[in-house]
Amino acid sequence: MIVVEGLAKSFGRRGEVKAVDGVSLTAADGAITGLLGPNGAGKTTLLRMLATLVVPDAGRASVDGIDVARDPHAVRRRIGVLSDARGLYLRLTGRENIRYYGALHGLAGAALAARIDRLLDTLGIGPIADRPAQGYSQGERMKVAIARALVHDPAAILLDEPTNGLDIMSTRALRALLSGLAAEGKCLLFSSHVMQEVAALCERIVILGHGRVVATGTAPELIARSGQATLEEAFVQLLGSGEGLVA
Amino acid sequence: MSTLSGARIATIARKEMVDTFRDRRTMLVMFLTAIAAGPVLLLLVLNLAASQAEKARELRLPVAGREHAPALIAFLERQQVTILPAPGGFEERIRKGELDVVLDIDAAFGADVAQGKAGTVRLVYDRSRDRARASIDQAEALLRAYGREWGRGRLLLRGVAPQVGLPLTIEARDLATPQSQGSLVLFLVAFYGLFAAVVGGMAAALDTTAGERERASLEPLLTTPALPLELATGKWLAVCALNALAVLVTLSGFYLTLRFAPLPTIGIPFLFGIAEFARFVVVLVPLILLIPAILVWFGCRGRTFKEAQSNVSLLLFAISILPVVQMFMQRKEPDWLGWVPVSAQYALLTRALRGEALPALELAQSYAVPALLTAGALLLVARLLSRESVVTGSR
């Protein structure tokens, strides 16, 4: 479970850019929680703080009760991160890319090999796994990056705009994979600026705007609260504008 | 806090090595510069030295006005000099580099000598031409010798001991062992040995740091349990391995060139055998370890490969200029230079080439500062990697 309380982070020389401004949220185990917001709403910074890459200015965040600022190393062992930057090593094969991360997580030998095979199978990239990543399509690269993030079977999974650049078939495959992970009891936090995606995949939706939480709830709750007819109208109404969102 | 894991460091080092070895362009450039640059240059210089020696042995001297000083010509011919008639317009031809040196005997030579005055001969040359220097020096030396012999004969005729006119006897004892001559060749071999240790790991160092950042693979890497110091150490070790390989390839190039290439038949002024090979490696170890640490640090500071590259080229220039300055330094080197990385190694390399054993104390001295700097650089890299700016891109 991921718990965030009053988390804040500013950038710039005098901290004039408030990227995240007092965000609180909870992401439960066995569920996909969606972070929806236009570009620049603070989604990436929030996920980076949870991934221990950026230190919060204020507030607290914990993964399964472990504070991200106090014990980042223990948090890293429990989380799988598909970050905004998701470059592969292009001269290594897909399998080698995944194996590297597995080894960094302390996995080795037959257990690691079996785990990689299972992931390759689930994601349907077995046939290309032993080719250099150089020749992969966008979708194939994304799948390898996801397999890499999941190689150590993390309890919590952070995904920053995972469907960016994916075609429809790959997007559908990814959705199926994420739903499966939630069914296994994992805690998934998923950011996107695509409404349909969040609506289709997430039980709970957290809407971010200008670094703050604008609204939280299930899709029907958000529609009801905004008094609008459709989810799209509800988002636009809650955010004040639909700028930066994709329907 | 977590403790460093040797297994993770090994994992990182192994991955970086595999990654670099598959980078064909980088590997090709590394091997070509390592194999070709040093040994090829060495062959050129050795051939130059050989042709100089050739010239000095058989001086062919064009003479203008030989009829004015037949005794001098006879003396020169006794000294195995081939006398040629000077071509017309020889000054112009010397300027163009077609002739090395011409002896021009004054038309009034015979008359002056008959009147008891000093006869005048002119030696015409262009000293800025390195190729001509051996011929010039030999012609000059022969003329001086002739002058001395002549003067001695005159003194004897007058019943004066020749020592009266030549109170100083110069006895030259050249202490150079066969190896310690040929300083340019010496410099080249030492310099390229150093050079290999400095540039050998450059491409790899930048690729694992600035390249990793540019390819957007650093951020995900930092979400793994790998500690910043483990990443720094693993990457550094991989670059060190490559650097060591570059040095070994370069030294093998020297060894094979000097041993098997059809070298000119001058006595090669130094040895580069297995013992020198081993001493070179021992001397270069601190640089093989230090330079990658510095390069990795520079690489981490650059946000892109290009940025890191321009920073590094400045560093490399500074490093490579040190031995050149040292070579041109006329005085004996000050003692503190033994502490300065690169300079200390250069001094030790030239000693190894002269066939000297390496003094343990100075060797230890040359290891001390690089060891500290290496540790310092690695800690700086680790600190850089643990900063959030490495991900967010702000400074």
Tell me which residue in B2, B8, B388 faces A104 most closely, judged by beta carbons.
B8
B36 Cβ contact partners less than 8 Å away, ≥ 6 residues apart: B253
Across A153-174, b (16+ Cβ under 10 Å) vs e yields ebbbbbbbbbbeebeeebbebb
Q: Which residue has the tokens 């680790």?
A: B382
pLDDT in tens, B93-127: 888 888 888 999 988 888 888 888 888 889 898 88
pLDDT score for B149: 85
Test mutation, A89, A130, A136, A150, chain B, max B CBs within 10 A: A89
Letter string b/e over residues A214-243, b meaning 16 or more CB atoms within 10 A of that residue's CB: bbbeebeebbeebebeebbebbbbbbeeee
Cα distance from A223 to chain B (closest Cα, Å)?
35
Which whole number is the average pLDDT over B143-156? Answer: 86
Rounded to an integer, the average pLDDT of A5-17 is: 89
| pLDDT of A31 over the 90 cut | yes
> Average pLDDT of B273-278?
86
Instruction: Report the pLDDT value the prediction gives residue B229, as an integer from 0 to 100.
Output: 95
* In the predicted structure, residue B177 carries a pLDDT above the cut 90: no
Rounded Cα distance, A19 and A21, in Å: 6
pLDDT at A13: 82
ipTM attached to this prediction:
0.92
Of B86-90, B118-122, B163-167, B219-223, the one with minimum mean pLDDT is: B163-167
Structure confidence by residue, pLDDT tens digits, B23-53 = 888 788 777 877 777 777 777 777 776 666 6
Distance CA B196, CA B252 (A): 12
Q: What is the pLDDT of residue B181?
A: 47
pLDDT for res B195: 84
pLDDT at residue B64 above 60?
yes
What whole-number percentage of chain B has pLDDT above 90? 25
A92 within 8 A of B18, measured Cβ to Cβ: yes
Identify which of A11, A51, A132 has the shortest CB distance to residue B223.
Answer: A51
B8 and B230 Cβ atoms separated by less than 8 Å: yes
Interfacial B residues in 174-233 facing A (CB < 8 Å): 212, 215-227
Of B212, B225, B388, the CB nearest to A77: B225
The answer, for B304 touching chain A at a CB cutoff of 8 Å, is: no
Q: Mean per-residue pLDDT for B77-105?
A: 86
Q: Which residues of A touch B8 (CB under 8 A)?
A: 103-104, 106
Across chain A, mean pLDDT equals 90
With cut-offs at 50, 70 and 90, classify the pLDDT of residue B233.
Answer: very high
Asked if B22 reaches chain A (Cβ–Cβ under 8 Å), the answer is yes
In this prediction, residue B178 carries a pLDDT of: 44
What is the pLDDT at residue B179?
Answer: 43
Q: What's the pLDDT score for residue B288?
A: 94
Q: Which two tokens stand for residue A61?
A: 């965040």
Closest Cα in chain B, distance from residue A28 (Å): 21
Query: What is the SS3 assignment for A27?
Result: strand
Which of residues 225 through 284 in chain B touch A, CB cutoff 8 A? 225-227
SS3 state at B187:
helix
Confidence of residue B395 (pLDDT cuts 50, 70, 90): very low
pLDDT at A209 exceeding the cut of 80: yes
Answer yes or no: is pLDDT of B394 > 70. Answer: no
Query: Is B224's CB within 8 Å of A89's CB?
Result: no
- Contact (CB, 8 A) for B373 and B340: no
pLDDT tens across B350-385, in order?
Answer: 888 877 888 899 899 999 999 999 999 999 999 999
Per residue in A56-113, pLDDT (tens digit) is 999 999 999 999 999 999 999 999 999 988 899 999 999 999 999 999 999 999 999 9
